[in-house]
Amino acid sequence: MKFELPKLPYAQDSLEPAISKETMSYHYGKHLQTYIDNLNKLIEGSEFAKMPLEEIIKKSDGGIFNNAAQTFNHTFYFETFSPNGEKAPKGKLAKAIEKKWGSFDAFKEEFSAAAVSLFGSGWAWLSKDSNGEPVITKESNAGCPLTSGLVPLLTIDVWEHAYYLDCQNRRAEYVKKIWEIIDWAVVEKRFE
Ligand code: MN
């Protein structure tokens, strides 16, 4: 089985001004494509060649893990966005967030702080734990909550390649803009 670049449900210029067309062309078109190409080369003829992506992530390490997790993480990240999505959660996820953080705004503040304070390259995640409760975690490099038995709900890529063309070194500015394009209907569906 060959992994392929996922089709996006929106045009590459439609997330502007939060994410520019130029960033999309590099981040989605080149960085993600390279992780997928590397993964396909590394697994060819190996025990991983016929496994689904999530199983590769749970069973591999080294280069195969890095490229498999980066393929999953980026696909998950890009599929969260929409130029005209739901601006806040409704239903069960909204209730779970309010129960844990007190309010949606308080959750956003804590999630943003996790993303901005993560040292070096990595990902900030919102996941569902084994009790069905939402939890914020920080993962370095290609880290993915699937390896901790969590169900991923939302992620922000804080590798510099995600924001350097648009915001240079200003990661906090990038994180602030990301909230404008998250489609909470997608996140809610993952929770339920
Ligand atoms: Mn990235």
Does the residue 14 lie in any domain?
no
Distance 5 CA to ligand 1 centre (A): 14
pTM of the model: 0.96
As for how many domains the chain has, the answer is: 2
The last residue of a domain, from among 78, 101, 120: 78
- pLDDT for res 1: 59
Query: Does residue 103 share a domain with residue 162?
Result: yes
Q: Is the dihedral of CA 86, 97, 160, 28 positive or negative?
A: negative
Query: Does residue 181 share a domain with residue 147?
Result: yes
Per-residue pLDDT tens digits for 1-27:
599 999 999 999 999 999 999 999 999
Does the residue 55 lie in any domain?
yes
Distance 91 CA to ligand 1 centre (A): 30
6: amino acid identity, one letter: P
Query: Does residue 101 share a domain with residue 181?
Result: yes
- Residue 41 pairs in a beta bridge with none
Consecutive H or E run containing 107: helix 104-117
- At 28, the pLDDT band (50, 70, 90 cuts) reads very high
Query: Does residue 183 share a domain with residue 102?
Result: yes
> Is the per-residue pLDDT at 32 higher than 80?
yes
Query: Does residue 155 share a domain with residue 127?
Result: yes
Distance 142 CA to ligand 1 centre (A): 9
> Is the per-residue pLDDT at 91 higher than 70?
yes
Query: Which CATH number do you get for residue 45?
Result: 1.10.287.990
Cβ contact 77:66 at 8 Å: no
Instruction: State which residues form the domain around 54.
Output: 21-78
Query: Does residue 99 share a domain with residue 43?
Result: no
Distance 126 CA to ligand 1 centre (A): 17
- pLDDT for res 51: 96
Does the residue 12 lie in any domain?
no
Rounded CA-CA distance 151/24 in Å is: 26
Of 91, 41, 102, 30, the closest CA to residue 66 belongs to: 41
Distance 31 CA to ligand 1 centre (A): 7
Per-residue pLDDT tens digits for 143-178:
999 999 999 999 999 999 999 999 999 999 999 999
Does the residue 182 lie in any domain?
yes
Query: Which CATH number do you get for residue 114?
Result: 3.55.40.20
